[in-house]
Structure 1
Amino acid sequence: MGDALRRFFDQALSELRDFLSLLRDPEGRARLFIELRPVILIALILSMVGVFLLPPLLEWLADVLYPPIEETVTRRRAFGRRVAQTVVTDDPRNELFAPRMLAIYRYLASATALFFVYRAARRALRGEHFASKPSFEATLVSGARTLLSGIGTRETATSAPPLASSPTLVQAAGDGSIAGRYQIKSELGRGGMGIVHLAEDTNLQREVALKELPAAFMASDVMAERFRVEARALARLSHPGIVQVYDLIETDQGSFMAMEFVRGGPLDEYLNGKLPLALDEFYRLAPLIARALMHAHEAGVIHRDLKPANILISEEGEPKITDFGLAKMHEGPKLTQAFTIMGSPAYMSPEQASGEIADARSDIYSLGCTFYEMITGRLPFETSGPQLLLSHLQEEPPRVAELRPETPAHIAELLDRMLAKSPDDRPSLQEIVERIDEAAEASVV
């Protein structure tokens, strides 16, 4: 026992001397810092769990394990009568359970963080890298990075190259002709779910926007089905405020969608230099957008990624909703699993931020974020990353009336309600249209 203890202390002192030597060496310090970066991420994850997730879970568990105690007590009343009463008292273990379990978690989390720091120091001393071979830290860090980098992006093939550098299927075709009918003229732009070309429909002799499912996504059954869902969603919608779809082409060249070509640009570009938007312009645009969205909802289509970049403004100044790449149809296939984060963080509803399945009321929240930006000149929450999602879940945005006092009180109150955390507290699209139309009529008088 004595020899084993002496060997342990000798080894500990030897490693301590090596660690001090590592700190004195500039290259060693740099190596240690590199190894500590994933440890910092692990510590952050443990802290977030301890601060945000564990306390409410422990309180709920305490109520389940230690419910209130009901006791029957006999009391003496006047004239010697005895009356039995039921008294409900709190179980004293209920209040102690959550703090004690939380303290145990913090001790274990601290010990875990110290253990990872020790492993990082050992790797730095040996010149190893934590990702050079499979390890628990590598797996955990990889998963965390995937989650954090995936916030605000759509489902893509994990090995897919960025669309900005991806060759198009049109380029691979060579002659610029698709299905013997659509002649490519130029590329209009690239988004998270596709590449859009300006093309000529040689049969009908009209210009169309030809959306291409990138080659990088063709191997993904989910992405291919999403492309079809977008086409079907647009095909069932016939409204002047929604971009029309003309054709879905699936050939050996790839998958393409022929859509109405809208001369103009997205709402976010239209708003450049105009924010906060003049109230009369807001009264003109907002009801048109809301009516178009209401038509989609009545047809059973939920957009799930509504934002200024997905609302086109034509040369005539008319808004048109586009990019239904994340759309959900009531009777369509279920492509999104529970706890999958979908959408754009700045305009994402609390239920989307928490990974829940979104319904039509989620679109109302996203529309509220868009209207809020048009009226106030800023987003409801101007943070980024995970903090932005937490803001949608937990914080209240500045009141519209405070940011722009000249906004009519009922319009300011309407926008605040559109950003309610609970979907049940948000107004309907019909009410939104009616209230804004009333404000527009009142402003003319």
Structure 2
Amino acid sequence: MATAQEGTHKVQVSVQEPTQLRYRLADQHKWVDLGICKGSQSYQLPNGKVFLHLERDHGLWSEVATRNVAEMDTYLTFRSDDFLSSIHWERILAGGIVVLLLGTLVARKLRAPIDPGTNLEPLIRPDGKVPRRRVGSYRLTGILGTGGMGVVYQAEDDDGNQVAIKVPAPHLVSQSDYFHRFLREIKLGLDLKHQRVVRVLEMPMDQELYVVMEYVDGTPLDKLPIQPWPIEWKLCLEWAAQTLDALTYIHAQGVIHRDLKPSNLMVLRDNSIKLMDFGIAHKVHGTRLTGTDAVMGTPTYMAPEQLQGAEIDPRADLFSLGLILYERLKPGLPYADDLVETLRQKVTQSLPSLRLSNPSFPSAFDEFILTLLAMRPEDRFPSAQTALNSLQPLLTLTKR
């Protein structure tokens, strides 16, 4: 039993199972450990508003209860119904556990209501406004993007460091396939560290599902206006080299992006580029991706073999890059809107040379793009590094 101290008051805490206790003052972030409470025990807590946190650790998940404690509170009893479930993402991801085995359990726990005692607004408000709250150690400050898949917020920590926080739409959390992809994006993002790849900084540490990412002050390529021809083709050349730099890195880590498209390339203010969104990326671990898993992605930018559900390797990402460049240099997608017709065109027709519509287009760059867009993987560059090497002479010419 704790001894009385000036500025404190005694609180009797009762629990049904051994429970870890800690507290913090409402205006501070530092937690004070009270140890394990067994049955009923007395504690000396500071006067004023105190936030009490109780946790029972079960390995991959914990049961958590919270309570705001005032000076008049002298007896606190916690029953099983007072505890919510919190997932230990860092243990799940670090252990490489197959999320599908945990899907039902985890999704059910994530849908548990937020403890009313914490006074937290939902991460996605029905009125579309920014929730007036913190997420982990960050305060939400604005909305970077929104849509049917969820919301991306701008946020900052207490030192003013900016981050982006991606929150999936509530209806998606209960879908095991989406849930699996979201966790895979977190796991891959934590592993990938490269200047041309948007970094994942943190995983969720409570019962809410989100991911904290590097804040990038830029514009997705699909939202960037096409510049006059003499400027645009040189920008495309630089973007191609930088994207290939990123692809060389992720491919060396055994990762195939599988959904390379303009909206997944972020152009910064200095016109440099970063690759993002690894939601359906796949780490192949030395084997090729086959079957229905290979068909995932955005059909318009998929390689022919990916659309057909055949075996894919990193060269599928090269085809997608080629189509992104082709679309920028000859505005308007070269394929039909119909998915079946797109597939037929991709597996039977090569795209025409860009020089047919613009004879001043550098022949070497034209040949480079058409090699990326070869219908058969074996006719493309064998790797992103090889493709990058082939661009070096052109890059040198543009800087003269």
TM-score interval for Structure 1 and Structure 2 normalised by the shorter chain = 0.5 to 0.7
Against the structure 1 CA distance between its residues 284 and 222, is the aligned structure 2 distance closer, same or farther, given a 3 Å change threshold? same
- How far is the alpha carbon of 1:402 from its aligned partner? 1.5
- How far is the alpha carbon of 1:420 from its aligned partner? 1.1
Give 1:249's aligned residue: 204
- Which of 379, 384, 389 is 2:338 aligned to? 384
Q: Which amino acid aligns with 2:145?
A: G
Length-normalised TM-score, structure 1: 0.57
Distance, in Å, in 1 between the alignment partners of 2:356 and 2:163 is 44
Give 2:268's aligned residue: 314
Name the SS for the 1:169 alignment partner: coil
Distance, in Å, in 2 between the alignment partners of 1:248 and 1:332 is 27
Distance, in Å, in 1 between the alignment partners of 2:172 and 2:340 is 27
- Which of 192, 199, 212 is 1:237 aligned to? 192
- How far is the alpha carbon of 1:273 from its aligned partner? 4.9
Against the structure 1 CA distance between its residues 276 and 205, is the aligned structure 2 distance closer, same or farther, given a 3 Å change threshold? same
Distance, in Å, in 2 between the alignment partners of 1:199 and 1:238 is 21
Give 2:35's aligned residue: none
Against the structure 1 CA distance between its residues 348 and 211, is the aligned structure 2 distance closer, same or farther, given a 3 Å change threshold? same
Deviations 1:293-338 (CA, angstroms, capped at 9, x unpaired): 1111111111111011110011222100111111101239999852
Is 2:143–2:153's contact at 8 Å kept on the other side of the alignment?
yes
Deviations 1:191-222 (CA, angstroms, capped at 9, x unpaired): 565421111223x5311110112211111222
Is 2:290–2:312's contact at 8 Å kept on the other side of the alignment?
no
Give 1:186's aligned residue: 142
Against the structure 1 CA distance between its residues 282 and 336, is the aligned structure 2 distance closer, same or farther, given a 3 Å change threshold? same
Is 2:189–2:200's contact at 8 Å kept on the other side of the alignment?
yes
Is 2:289–2:313's contact at 8 Å kept on the other side of the alignment?
no
Against the structure 1 CA distance between its residues 288 and 306, is the aligned structure 2 distance closer, same or farther, given a 3 Å change threshold? same
Is 1:198–1:209's contact at 8 Å kept on the other side of the alignment?
yes
Distance, in Å, in 1 between the alignment partners of 2:131 and 2:327 is 43
Q: Which amino acid aligns with 1:407?
A: F
- How far is the alpha carbon of 1:424 from its aligned partner? 1.2
Decide which structure has greater helix share.
1
Distance, in Å, in 2 between the alignment partners of 1:217 and 1:373 is 31
Q: Which structure would you say has the larger Rg? A: 1
- How far is the alpha carbon of 1:426 from its aligned partner? 0.7
Against the structure 1 CA distance between its residues 317 and 357, is the aligned structure 2 distance closer, same or farther, given a 3 Å change threshold? same
Is 1:341–1:355's contact at 8 Å kept on the other side of the alignment?
yes
Against the structure 1 CA distance between its residues 276 and 340, is the aligned structure 2 distance closer, same or farther, given a 3 Å change threshold? farther
Distance, in Å, in 2 between the alignment partners of 1:258 and 1:442 is 40
- How far is the alpha carbon of 1:407 from its aligned partner? 2.2
Against the structure 1 CA distance between its residues 262 and 355, is the aligned structure 2 distance closer, same or farther, given a 3 Å change threshold? same
Give 2:155's aligned residue: 199
Unaligned runs of 5+ in 1: 1-156, 158-166
- Which of 250, 263, 266 is 2:217 aligned to? 263
Give 2:239's aligned residue: 285
Unaligned runs of 5+ in 2: 1-106, 108-120
Is 2:259–2:297's contact at 8 Å kept on the other side of the alignment?
yes
Against the structure 1 CA distance between its residues 212 and 332, is the aligned structure 2 distance closer, same or farther, given a 3 Å change threshold? farther
With 286-295 and 433-442 compared, the bigger mean Cα shift is at 433-442
- How far is the alpha carbon of 1:174 from its aligned partner? 5.8
Against the structure 1 CA distance between its residues 361 and 421, is the aligned structure 2 distance closer, same or farther, given a 3 Å change threshold? same
Distance, in Å, in 2 between the alignment partners of 1:397 and 1:404 is 15
Deviations 1:373-392 (CA, angstroms, capped at 9, x unpaired): 23333433254332122222
Is 1:339–1:356's contact at 8 Å kept on the other side of the alignment?
no
Identity score, percent? 30
Mapping 1:42-81, distance limit 5 Å:
none
Decide which structure has greater strand share.
2
Give 2:325's aligned residue: 371
Q: Which amino acid aligns with 1:345?
A: P
Length-normalised TM-score, structure 2: 0.63
Is 1:307–1:367's contact at 8 Å kept on the other side of the alignment?
yes
Distance, in Å, in 2 between the alignment partners of 1:395 and 1:347 is 15
Q: Which amino acid aligns with 1:415?
A: I
- How far is the alpha carbon of 1:444 from its aligned partner? 4.5
1:359 aligns with 2:313: yes
Distance, in Å, in 1 between the alignment partners of 2:245 and 2:223 is 22
Deviations 1:129-163 (CA, angstroms, capped at 9, x unpaired): xxxxxxxxxxxxxxxxxxxxxxxxxxxx9xxxxxx
Q: Which amino acid aligns with 1:245?
A: V
Name the SS for the 1:355 alignment partner: coil
1:431 aligns with 2:386: yes
Number of equivalenced pairs: 277
